[in-house]
Amino acid sequence: MTDTTIRLSRKKPDTFDGDLLIYTPFLNNKEKIIRGPNVVEQELDDAISIGDFKGKQGDTLLFYPSGSAKKKLNVSRVFIASLGNVEEKNNNKTRELLRKTGGLIATEARKTKSSHLGICLDNLLSSVGEDGVESLVEGILLGDYRFEKYKSKSSKKEKRSFKGIKEIVGFSSGSENNGKIEKGISRAVNSARAACKARDMANEPGNGWTPTSFAVYARELAGKHKMTCTVLGKGGMKRLKMGGLLGVNQGSSEPPKLVILEYKAPKKKADTILFVGKGLTFDSGGVSLKPSAGMQDMKYDMCGGAAALSAMSVVGAEQPDVNVIAIIPATDNMGGSSALKPGDIIKHYGGITSEIVNTDAEGRLILADSLAYGIKRYKPTCVVDLATLTGAVILGLGHHRTGILGNNQGLIDRVIRAGDKSGEPLWQLPLDEEYTEQIESDVADIKNTGGRPAGTITAAAYLQKFVGNTPWVHLDIAGTAWDFTKKSYIPKGPSGIAVRTLVELVRDWKKFS
């Protein structure tokens, strides 16, 4: 993500001499367009009169000031993006509308190679308030994302000279609300940068982002934000008898890591939230080999770990009044000569034995050890795990919603609210005892797959064996971590899903009971 500078100005927008000046008109209750400054009125009237602009949500207009407008404006281009009807200032629908509008602005900036943007905030504030500015900025930054690390310089030069949005200037005539606006912008920058970092991790190839990379980034965050980082290697896992993580790693030449990052709140007796994110840096399926078609996307199997660790960057920056711990079990799943075989039996941390029916059902094995260890070691108030765990969730929910399951309805509801606020919707699936019966084994305590029926639910039932009575929620992000619902601020490929959901969960945290 471009390192964008964002600042507020009390000057008039017509003084802006950058690349692109943005206005966001909206419709009132009578479907009348509430305009921005008079300098764009004639151009807007002309577009309305010929039917090119109706003020509906998503309507846009780009023009190059000339004639009388040129005398009043110093900017090269003007972009008008309508908000349509805004029913309420602070609801989730409006937040999502603003993020999408921000994505449209980022798209237009890319098309016109505009690096320096100005936004008229007075009209925006009157329709959506300070929270709306936060969502708009978040959408712009998320929409400005690109991953070009491995493109040669000549390839980049041939495609374009545009290097992203460098500056955003928000023009606000009043100063009474600027403190709130600046706080919202700061939150938007933190959450967008974290989501874009998760996208970067996922876009890295399997030979570019390894278990060691998770450890290096966690240590970097710990040093920057005064958090505590602990990394367990294979020796530590053996001492703890983490048979799941060690078993999945058996066929690999790349050593596994269990990465733990801890933030302690300044407030004593604060709740503790534990995040556990699947860090499978490449999944071949092991001996139960995946089909070759599409296997290149299995570098994305670490998106849960990427989300958990990226969310910690916001936790460190914002210092909330709740303790937060992230655990990322990291390995790849390869079919080497020592790899797990169907029929093998492993023993998890804590003693539960598992029959391996399918080596491609590996995510639950590494999460199980991490959940059991994290709960025993840190005694958290609650746990949220997230993983690209099952293809079955795509069959059930497509690429539009993350599957959510758990043992505590209060916690489930909190996570769903956080997801709705973030534009990352979730859908609850049942987790009744009947599903647990599907993973009973004749030769071990449990088996690692219950077959194709209810595959997402039986995977969660496996994890439930390792959480006891601790309030716990499981997010299956296999359908949303990439190929997520097409939106103006979501790129093709990794979406950075769940980062902003976790961030909102922490930001809005109230004492859990």
Cβ neighbours of residue 6 under 8 Å, at least 6 residues apart? 137, 167, 168, 169, 170, 185, 189
Give the integer Cα–Cα distance in Å for 266 and 379.
18
- The active-site residue out of 77, 199, 364, 447 is 364
292 neighbors 401 (Cβ within 8 angstroms) = no
331 neighbors 279 (Cβ within 8 angstroms) = yes
Cβ neighbours of residue 288 under 8 Å, at least 6 residues apart? 342, 358, 359, 360
Give the integer Cα–Cα distance in Å for 437 and 420.
33
Pick the closest to residue 78 from 35, 14, 170 (CA basis): 14
> Is 364 an active-site residue?
yes
Strand partners, 116: 167
Look up tokens 């900036």; give the residue: 109
Give the integer Cα–Cα distance in Å for 266 and 509.
15
Angle at 500 between CA 499 and CA 505, to 5 degrees: 105
Helices (H), 250-398: 303-318, 363-378, 392-397
- The active-site residue out of 290, 341, 417, 487 is 290
Handedness of CA 173, 144, 484, 209 (dihedral sign): negative
Active site residues: 290, 364
